[in-house]
Structure 1
Amino acid sequence: MNTTLKCISPIDGSVYAERTVMGLDAASAAVARARKAQKDWAKRPLEDRIALVRAGVARLNEMKDEVVPELAWMMGRPVRYGGEFGGVNERTNYMAEIAARALSPIEIESSAQFERRIARVPHGVVFVVAPWNYPYMTAINTVAPALIAGNTVVLKHATQTLLVGERMVRAFTEAGVPEDVFINLFLDHQGTEKLISSGSFDFINFTGSVGGGQAIERAAAGTFTGLGLELGGKDPGYVMDDADLDWAVDVLMDGAMYNAGQCCCGIERLYVARPLYDQFVEKATAWVSALKLGNPLDQETTIGPMANVRFANEVRAQTAEALASGARALIDPKLFPTDDGGAYLMPQILVDVTHDMRVMRDESFGPVVGIMPVDSDEEALALMNDCQFGLTASLWTNDVERAARIGAEIDTGTVFMNRADYLDPALCWTGCKATGRGGSLSEIGFHNLTRPKSFHLRKKTA
């Protein structure tokens, strides 16, 4: 039985951090304390809860000099990008700004005879199981609105980013959030599943793999616990014949390669109108060839190692299978001598690809993208929908009506026009098909973190 969680750094394969797995009794007791603390937390004025959450995020920002290199050591993101503070701040601030409106009751009647309204009340204890690829931003998507809405939060982070939950809780506690309102647990899969199956939580938000989401659903079966699941993705981009070519190349290649391709809504497959195809491929190849693969602690590095050798090997396997089936690789390996066959993986563009290849069908979650020419919107739409996932789709055109028409037919959670790989906190972050269910952020995110409670108050009449 594994009693220690170890973060193996992709930088050099060393053990960067380790923590003891919390026993089930101790974890259950911690959750019980969070449940006890929830009632008093929910009774605080909304303005107080908002102020404390903002203060917690502000305190986290003050830890930037520690957080940024920690992320590099734990999951390989280059320090030149400065961590995830921009997204964390944007999402927290927006959810704080809309909280009063989103959580306000629906007033049906206020008369001499009746008061009728539908209130929104917190679930109770919210369990957040967060991933390693954007460990702060994915966690804050639920942590901030859940706390603002009056829930207490239990956070469990991926072992690859072992220290993130500990640091977040420390920041919020130092900022004045009461102990037991926001807690971090070090759990293995078995302990996590036992807590869930025992009905310890009132709502669970999980971001991770399809297999992980299936395990969460199985564990929660019969408990009637609400679930929000953001799982896999294979997000497409479609460059139409009237697109701004240079703009499309720059944004789509960044969307495919940023964070070593380890983005939930990263671009993994591209369809380009045939008149623009050759130019697009030429420009994209030059863009990717200019990246610098290396140690993420080096300010010159633009693409770091993948978080784990296992993840890099899956990308290598998909690429090798595609090449064996007739695909062509356009990026010269000589430009990336730091590819060590381990976690350091060179970026790659593949052409002559088809949907018979896994690299165009299965989630890659790494710095590889396949590009296909298409001859019509109908062909592009069929290919974009030929996928088990549905998180985002990126459309490139100067015609808003065309984008809206095509976007309405794509099986996806978000449609972008002339943008990619971005999460707008004002819009619901959601997916369909094997990408999961539920939604975070926006007013709908608050609705998912609360439940409706109806009041029908009949007044005494003469």
Structure 2
Amino acid sequence: MSTRAQFFIGGRFRTADHVEPVLEAATGEFLGDGASATEADVDAAVAAARVALLDWQSASPDHRAEILTAFAAALDQRARGTAELVTRENGMPMSLSRGANGRFPAALFRYYAQLITETPIEEIRPSMIGHTIVRREAVGVVAAIVPWNYPQALAAFKLAPALAAGCTVVLKAAPETALDALVFAEAAEEAGLPPGVLNVVAGGASAGAYLVAHPGVDKVTFTGSTAAGRIIGEVCGRLLRPVTLELGGKSAAIILDDADLDATMKGLRNASFVNNGQTCHLSSRILAPRSRYDEVLAALVDMVDGLKVGDPLDTATDIGPLVSARQRDRVLGYIAAGNSSSAKLVVGGSVPADQPRGWFVSPTVFADVNNGDRIAQEEIFGPVLAVVPYDGDEEAIALANASEFGLAGTVWSTDDERGTEVARAVRTGTIGVNDYQLDFRAPFGGVKSSGIGRELGPEGLEAFFTLKSIYRVGPADS
């Protein structure tokens, strides 16, 4: 990969006029120059996507699938290096990055390559006057805006189905992870993706805002904060532009009174601390039954004490650094808010003494949290848990639902049916019983302030189609 700050526009790499340094999360040291898009760069990327649209959307599903399969192979070839690069950019532990940034994107491209060949482009329905052809057509030029926390996986959430559907795309990467975004450009070039079908730029909020409102864009798909999502939703509403928004969360882990705590703690290591807490679907509110409250709290403290904090490139590391000094300070600010409340800090709560470089925060647990406290209601995006006591399943469900968010959640019980009934009662887009693992064959997304629309599964492909009804008189075979 080139060390120069570059974009990929119209099938060519272009050296950026404006750069922003990318720093290594574990050390704070310079990692590389990231390209920073200007309005002229965004204009060029959108123009290239519009030029390429007609031919790409007219290509057969089999042809698009063939190129997407080659795209997946090109990503596979780069998987090891990509995983390491992302870990250095954002602090994701290598044990996670190898899957999330290495293997997963290629698997998703293969999934949608197969799905597009199995999805009927047209279907015929009988009507009062004859029949109607209902036709799926590519929605057009897509602005895909992705955050820094899972840059490869979340880009693949958008790129794979959009390209499969026949859309052309402008991918806007976050400045913190501008370097790894070019892996998609390299893979596109190697796979023979026609020029302009995928364009890759990076930049901050101003570049994203300009892209969202660009007259050459037909659809926006965004993953990021709820605050940014509200602004994007307002713009798209005014423009009558379709939008998919995957936003924040403050999900609850409901530990029922019959839970196996050993198994629950093993599951919460991932469900509550994955990617150093920089994950939108974390179960970061722990709802614990009063009848076993002290037992649950002791188990949580033991689990947290057993987490290894350190170099994210070490596959034995559980908790690496946060992405930036700004993010570290944000998380420390929430810890200060917790300390100012009636909650009790029981473990963590500071920068680890043995990590003088980089942007580390110790995994932290607050007990006796009021469900209305800031640390129980606002998305912290760091390794901080709030433990809230409850009495009875009904109160647990009410507390879980007493949130502006509704993205994810978990229920922990030795009775799968009981756990599933509780899961059904939680108002959320996704929820796990005794685990939480995304299934790329099923829809992912949120309700309330956690977003609009769904990604993954067949529903993720449908999001990039527009439907046309062609009314015809006479029998269907005419």
TM-score normalised per structure 2: 0.89
User: What pairs up with 1:41-56 in 2 under 5 angstroms?
Assistant: 41-56=56-71
> Aligned letter for 2:28?
G
Task: State the alpha-carbon separation in 2 of the partners of residues 166 and 156 from structure 1.
Answer: 11
Offset at residue 274 of structure 1 (A): 2.9
CA 1:339 to 1:319, structure 2 compared with 1: closer, same or farther past 3 Å?
A: farther
Q: Secondary structure at the match of 2:148?
A: coil
Offset at residue 255 of structure 1 (A): 1.6
> Aligned letter for 2:205?
H
> Aligned letter for 1:249?
M
Offset at residue 114 of structure 1 (A): 4.4
CA 1:425 to 1:293, structure 2 compared with 1: closer, same or farther past 3 Å?
A: same
Residue 129 (structure 1) aligned with residue 145 (structure 2): yes
Offset at residue 20 of structure 1 (A): 4.1
CA 1:132 to 1:377, structure 2 compared with 1: closer, same or farther past 3 Å?
A: same
Q: Which residue of 2 aligns with 1:170?
A: 186
The one of 51, 54, 76 equivalent to 1:61 is 76
Offset at residue 6 of structure 1 (A): 2.7
Residue 213 (structure 1) aligned with residue 242 (structure 2): no
> Aligned letter for 2:65?
I
Offset at residue 253 of structure 1 (A): 2.6
Bigger Cα displacement from structure 2, 88-97 vs 386-395: 88-97
Residue 347 (structure 1) aligned with residue 356 (structure 2): no
Q: CA RMSD in A?
A: 2.6
Residue 304 (structure 1) aligned with residue 298 (structure 2): no
The one of 123, 143, 157 equivalent to 1:106 is 123
CA 1:103 to 1:423, structure 2 compared with 1: closer, same or farther past 3 Å?
A: farther
Q: Secondary structure at the match of 1:272?
A: strand
User: What pairs up with 1:369-380 in 2 under 5 angstroms?
Assistant: 369-380=385-396
Q: Which residue of 2 aligns with 1:94?
A: 111
Offset at residue 122 of structure 1 (A): 0.4
Q: Secondary structure at the match of 1:238?
A: strand
> Aligned letter for 2:39?
L
Q: Which residue of 2 aligns with 1:423?
A: 438
The one of 337, 341, 345 equivalent to 1:321 is 337
Offset at residue 124 of structure 1 (A): 0.9
Seq. identity, %: 29
Task: State the alpha-carbon separation in 1 of the partners of residues 177 and 41 from structure 2.
Answer: 22
CA 1:175 to 1:198, structure 2 compared with 1: closer, same or farther past 3 Å?
A: closer
Task: State the alpha-carbon separation in 2 of the partners of residues 333 and 30 from structure 1.
Answer: 44
> Aligned letter for 1:52?
I
Name stretches of at least 5 consecutive residues in structure 1 with no aligned partner.
none
Q: Secondary structure at the match of 2:431?
A: strand
CA 1:440 to 1:151, structure 2 compared with 1: closer, same or farther past 3 Å?
A: same
Q: Which residue of 1 aligns with 2:307?
A: 291
Offset at residue 270 of structure 1 (A): 0.8
Deviations 1:131-151 (A, max 9, x none): 111111111111001101111
Task: State the alpha-carbon separation in 1 of the partners of residues 64 and 338 from structure 2.
Answer: 52
Deviations 1:350-375 (A, max 9, x none): 11111242111100111111122321
CA 1:291 to 1:432, structure 2 compared with 1: closer, same or farther past 3 Å?
A: same
CA 1:22 to 1:308, structure 2 compared with 1: closer, same or farther past 3 Å?
A: closer
Task: State the alpha-carbon separation in 1 of the partners of residues 122 and 422 from structure 2.
Answer: 36
Q: Which residue of 1 aligns with 2:246?
A: 230
Residue 443 (structure 1) aligned with residue 458 (structure 2): yes
Offset at residue 268 of structure 1 (A): 0.8
Task: State the alpha-carbon separation in 2 of the partners of residues 273 and 93 from structure 1.
Answer: 43
Task: State the alpha-carbon separation in 2 of the partners of residues 101 and 403 from structure 1.
Answer: 35
Contact 1:124 1:151 (C-alpha < 8 Å) held by counterparts: yes
Deviations 1:53-102 (A, max 9, x none): 12212211211232122112210112243252343244333333333444
Offset at residue 310 of structure 1 (A): 1.6
Name stretches of at least 5 consecutive residues in structure 2 with no aligned partner.
1-16
Q: Secondary structure at the match of 2:69?
A: helix
Bigger Cα displacement from structure 2, 8-17 vs 389-398: 8-17
Bigger Cα displacement from structure 2, 363-372 vs 294-303: 294-303
Q: Which residue of 2 aligns with 1:409?
A: 425
Task: State the alpha-carbon separation in 1 of the partners of residues 52 and 349 from structure 2.
Answer: 56
Contact 1:194 1:219 (C-alpha < 8 Å) held by counterparts: no
Residue 276 (structure 1) aligned with residue 292 (structure 2): yes
Offset at residue 340 of structure 1 (A): 4.1
CA 1:358 to 1:42, structure 2 compared with 1: closer, same or farther past 3 Å?
A: same
Task: State the alpha-carbon separation in 1 of the partners of residues 348 and 450 from structure 2.
Answer: 33
Offset at residue 47 of structure 1 (A): 1.6
CA 1:222 to 1:328, structure 2 compared with 1: closer, same or farther past 3 Å?
A: closer
The one of 265, 274, 277 equivalent to 1:249 is 265
Residue 70 (structure 1) aligned with residue 89 (structure 2): no
Task: State the alpha-carbon separation in 1 of the partners of residues 338 and 40 from structure 2.
Answer: 49
Q: Secondary structure at the match of 2:181?
A: helix
> Aligned letter for 1:311?
Q
Contact 1:199 1:225 (C-alpha < 8 Å) held by counterparts: no
